[in-house]
Structure 1
Amino acid sequence: MTEPYPREGLPLDQARALVLEALQPLGLSESLPLADCLGRTLAETLHAAEAVPGFRASIMDGYAIAGSEPPEPGDSWQLMGRSAAGAPFRESLRPGQAVRVLTGAVVPEGSGWVLPQELVEACDGQLRLLKACGVNPWIRAMDEEAAAGGVLAQAGDRLGVAELARLASCGVQQCRVWSRPRVGLLISGDELLPPGEPRQLGEIWESNSTLLCALLQRLGYGVAVQRVVGDQPEPLRQALLELAANADVVVSTGGVSAGDTDWIRPLVAELGEVRFWKLFLKPGRPLAWGTVAGRPFFGLPGNPVAAAVTALQLLWPALQRLEGAEVALLPRLRVQLEQPLRRGSGRPELARASLVVADDGRLLARVAGSQASSRIGSLAQADLLLEIPAELGSLEAGAELWAQLLRLPIF
């Protein structure tokens, strides 16, 4: 156990660095069909087997003319046929000849120019240029997308929509990707009930499993096994050991503070090691990191917002490292507060906010409602996590802050 802990907790950047430094990629891979590779990380570098598209293609509907020099208005050619997508004109053009060519179709040998159809007149087998055609030949190179042997994607790349589409366009059918780490999730608390069950005074419906499973799924990961256990040391000990035996990472929520029934932290110290405890952060102070039975362990706070925020800041980067991906954090941008924000100084805060574009183009952060770490509603419609430094108290409208962007890219 690392001693002593900073009384106020570790700064977030320092905690993240300690976590990532302690982890190594799992090194397990699998070969999957391309359709199953969205969001996965490549375990191999992929090269193009041949040039793509593999032929010179017309960029628009028009006429391929013989020669490679820009023609002049009044020039004319004899029409020899037609080249369409999937039905190419297979002969070479000689001087004074042209063919009708459609978008995406093969441009015949002997032609270095496609004339847009709106610039020409075709009549009685003859083609005549009516207007100046400009300097663009409107031909797609045979290796525009990829040259034979060229790198399509590097090992370690995360495969998004665009990457998958490009691989498919280059004839790739399957990929070898790094296996995702298996997460074991433990939710603890005597007060927890399954949603739908009738409540007694003091009981709450358990939501952290739904929140964290959905969050991890959105980030491209999943929960392999989960347990909901009351605040009793022996059942919690057995649950921790079971999760460690069936997952690559053990994650818990609740039970890591210093209350009479907070058993998780002492159990982790017994079964492994607590490397640090407490973050200098709001929300998310009661957080533990270490190992359980040789597996990385994250003891997230019990309050749902704090659990979600710390999962984004620490658990998500750790899962990327274990998977073998380059660790990517949430992108950051500068924003201004739309309205005053009342707070006390003392701890850095990640406040939930929505992103608003003002009429003058400024990016504004709108903070609505309570920022309590128990209020899941503060996550709803949140586009941003505002980074508020510890030394700042209440802020006026127009104050400029860094913010982490929560909306993930589409492509």
Structure 2
Amino acid sequence: MGFDSFAMVDWSSGNDTGPRPRKDAIWACVVRQGKADEGPTYFRNRELAEQWLLDLITTEIEAERRLCLGFDFPFGYPKGFARALTGSDDPLGLWEWFEHRIEDSPKANNRFDLAGEINCRFGGKGPFWFNGLKRKINGLPKTKADYHSPFPERRSVELAPEAKGSFSCWQMGGAGAVGGQMMTGLPVLTRLRRTFAGKVAVWPFEVLDTPVAFVEIWPSLTLGAAPEGRIKDAWQVEQVALSLAGMPIQDLARHLNVSAAEEGWILGVSQRKPNIAPPPLRNDCFALPAGVNWTPVDEALGLLRERLTVVTAAESLPVMQVSGRILADDVFAKRSNPPQPNTAVDGYGFAGAAPEGAQVMPLCDGRAAAGIPFDGVVPGGHALRVLTGAALPAGVDTVILEEDVTVQDNHIAFHGPLKQGANTRRAGEDVAEGDLVLTAGRRLTPADLALLSATGVADVPVRKTLRVAVLSTGDELIEPGGTANPGQIYDANRPMLIALMDRMGFQPVDLGRVPDDRETLRDRLNSAAKQADVIVTSGGASAGDEDHVSALLREAGAMQEWRIALKPGRPLALGMWEGVPVFGLPGNPVAAMVCTLIFARPALGLMAGEGWQEPQGFDLPAAFEKRKKPGRREYLRARVRNGRAEVFASEGSGRISGLSWAEGLVEIEDGARHIKPGDLVRFIPYSSFGL
């Protein structure tokens, strides 16, 4: 059932749309190894799209990669239609029927005429409707007025609650012209099946034991509006392919496990098959079905690192306003530092080295001080009074410390030897004009501001601060300080998460609390997507009846990675909402904080523009003993005392006091471990996460 490559195609029955990418055209996207292959591809007509599909299938078969290929039009008609036209209920026979009768070219096709001919077989008033041409077509009405269909209006799948808003396959034109897509798309699929005979299986009509599977997908089932500036069809094919590639194999297998012999089905719509056989009693909340493994922490982090990108725009600000901001571009010195040779000490300057023995030199009138240069040239064999930071006058390249000099009768005396250039600084010895000063992605520190200022950089290109919306979910939550009724608790997560975002250098957006109501949560997420670059929720991220965050993310095509082998931290949902990344954190504050540090912190940094930041830890001897089973990575609340790592007395996720007690985390690797006092463990201080 596993696939190596995933592709999604958004079809069109219209005429050639020209060379410039546009909406309401044909778009496709391929994902291999979890990464989109060069982004969505635009096709101006069906001939080009069919050739692309032919090449894609050939490439994947030759590379021995299993391909799941999705299309956004139905694979079957309502019950009875296939038999009425072909004498058989076989939907693939109906595909061939259309392939023999559809005449198609980039500029025109006969889909409307064929729909009219079919309608005339059944009295001329249905099942097809909407003549999209200017000329009259016998049997095909312009609208549904006086319309009558001898077949059901919709397939069974389109009556499911999840498919609300889907279009009828009888509609031939206008918005949602599924009928036209089918008539022009099914012949293409038929030719591909013929070309790759025995290597293509059509879901759900055939067993998926071939190198290529054709699957019906309705992108709007899980995706909403496209991000601003992107063509919806192009964005949707990319998101669907990425979602399929990121879906655990057991979830994909569950979606594909449907039966629909004639009408076909939409991937992701449940058939609600009863399954009441109880699982074996394991008494382990981390247990999964046999043969299914938890996603390792490193694998989940890798998925985030591959799929997320910078989302913040750039702006230019004065150097005094950029502390803590992230550089958007490399910065180069506009002036050398030092800008010219100068003295490093208070003393007396002259030219050349001083030989061994007593030296006596006459003094020139005047002096050189920082900001007050000497106006003149120091003659050879003469000295000049110089102060720290003063530009070296002409005729001076060496300085003797004033503590080593005797001054009398307008002369100085000192003992050599002294090397030429002693106690001076060369121009640009720190930074030369044009040198790379700081690289893009750096979060600017006070020291960086000093460097930028010293090298003449007044306006700095920085990223706008990443906006992180924070939302708590749960009927049981009330605001701290309120009157708590039985069963209610104070919302500890939101204050913690808002403070974490602020300390990490992001801009928190407080979205408050929502009850365990799916529609209320949906509205709040919609609002969050308009106000923030990232959404962080706590609670509702598992798979229970009231876990609405994960349920909504599944509907929206989230990358579902909550089965991560992490303690504490189960559950964790990672997804997209209206084009905005969502981190669905556990409701438990301890797990919420650990997941924020381990997963959200590096991901937020990447989206903010500072790249993927690995937390810096170091090995210390343990001041505790612990036995750990293999399979999960564990993070213990810890602090350092007397050079040894102590851990909190209880590992219970409900012990919030341990977060305050701790100064960081002890990370214990995925495998089995028996830690004894004195054994080395990895301690990651909170400061490594920017706290």
Q: Tell me which residue corresponds to 2:94.
A: none
Q: Tell me which residue corresponds to 2:123.
A: none
- TM norm structure 1: 0.91
TM-superposed deviation, 1:35? 2.3
Of residues 232, 239, 246, the one that matches 2:531 is 246
Q: Tell me which residue corresponds to 2:266.
A: none
The alignment partner of 2:398 has SS state of strand
TM-superposed deviation, 1:121? 1.0
Residue by residue over 1:359-382, the C-alpha shift from the partner in whole angstroms, topping out at 9 and shown as x without a partner, is xxxxx2122332322333222253
Cα distance 1:309–1:36, how it changes in 2: closer, same or farther (>3 A)? Answer: farther
Q: Tell me which residue corresponds to 2:353.
A: 69
Q: Tell me which residue corresponds to 2:116.
A: none
Q: Tell me which residue corresponds to 1:295.
A: 580
1:375 aligns with 2:659: no
Report 1:226-245 matches (<5 A).
Answer: 226-245=511-530
Q: Tell me which residue corresponds to 2:664.
A: 384
Report 1:163-174 matches (<5 A).
Answer: 163-174=448-459
Tell me, yes or no, if the aligned pair for 1:48 and 1:152 is still in contact at 8 Å. Answer: yes
Paired letter, 1:397: P
Of residues 673, 676, 679, the one that matches 1:396 is 676
Q: Tell me which residue corresponds to 1:365.
A: 645
Cα distance 1:217–1:139, how it changes in 2: closer, same or farther (>3 A)? Answer: same
Paired letter, 1:79: L
Deviates more, 1:127-136 or 1:387-396: 127-136
1:154 aligns with 2:439: yes
Report 1:156-195 matches (<5 A).
Answer: 156-195=441-480
Tell me, yes or no, if the aligned pair for 1:342 and 1:393 is still in contact at 8 Å. Answer: yes
Query: Which structure is higher in helix share?
Result: 2
CA distance in 1, matches of 2:654, 2:418: 66
Cα distance 1:409–1:119, how it changes in 2: closer, same or farther (>3 A)? Answer: farther
Report 1:52-131 matches (<5 A).
Answer: 52-65=337-350, 67-80=351-364, 81-130=366-415
1:331 aligns with 2:616: yes
1:42 aligns with 2:327: yes
Cα distance 1:381–1:145, how it changes in 2: closer, same or farther (>3 A)? Answer: farther
1:306 aligns with 2:591: yes
CA distance in 2, matches of 1:395, 1:226: 42
Tell me, yes or no, if the aligned pair for 1:290 and 1:298 is still in contact at 8 Å. Answer: yes
TM-superposed deviation, 1:61? 1.4
Residue by residue over 1:234-256, the C-alpha shift from the partner in whole angstroms, topping out at 9 and shown as x without a partner, is 21121122212322212110111
Tell me, yes or no, if the aligned pair for 1:89 and 1:108 is still in contact at 8 Å. Answer: yes
Q: Tell me which residue corresponds to 2:9.
A: none
CA distance in 1, matches of 2:657, 2:426: 52
Tell me, yes or no, if the aligned pair for 1:265 and 1:274 is still in contact at 8 Å. Answer: no
Report 1:273-292 matches (<5 A).
Answer: 273-292=558-577
Deviates more, 1:284-293 or 1:378-387: 378-387
1:260 aligns with 2:545: yes
1:271 aligns with 2:556: yes
CA distance in 1, matches of 2:326, 2:648: 37
Paired letter, 1:385: L
Query: Which structure is higher in strand share?
Result: 1
Tell me, yes or no, if the aligned pair for 2:345 and 2:388 is still in contact at 8 Å. Answer: yes
Cα distance 1:29–1:102, how it changes in 2: closer, same or farther (>3 A)? Answer: same
TM-superposed deviation, 1:52? 2.2
CA distance in 1, matches of 2:628, 2:483: 37
TM-superposed deviation, 1:288? 0.8
TM-superposed deviation, 1:273? 2.2
CA distance in 2, matches of 1:139, 1:293: 61
Asked which structure has the greater RCO (Cα within 8 Å, sep 6+), the reply is 1
Larger Rg: 2
The alignment partner of 1:352 has SS state of strand
TM-superposed deviation, 1:224? 2.7
TM-superposed deviation, 1:191? 1.4
Identity across the alignment (%) = 35
TM-superposed deviation, 1:298? 1.0
Paired letter, 1:378: G
- Aligned residue-pair number: 404
Tell me, yes or no, if the aligned pair for 1:119 and 1:133 is still in contact at 8 Å. Answer: no
The alignment partner of 2:537 has SS state of strand
Residue by residue over 1:197-253, the C-alpha shift from the partner in whole angstroms, topping out at 9 and shown as x without a partner, is 122233221121111111111111122342311112221121122212322212110
Q: CA RMSD in A?
A: 2.3
CA distance in 2, matches of 1:288, 1:272: 12
Paired letter, 1:258: A
Paired letter, 2:363: L
CA distance in 2, matches of 1:309, 1:400: 21
Tell me, yes or no, if the aligned pair for 1:34 and 1:172 is still in contact at 8 Å. Answer: yes
Q: Tell me which residue corresponds to 2:300.
A: 15
CA distance in 2, matches of 1:22, 1:409: 21
Tell me, yes or no, if the aligned pair for 2:597 and 2:689 is still in contact at 8 Å. Answer: no
CA distance in 1, matches of 2:421, 2:634: 54
TM-superposed deviation, 1:330? 0.8
TM-superposed deviation, 1:343? 5.7
Cα distance 1:224–1:167, how it changes in 2: closer, same or farther (>3 A)? Answer: same
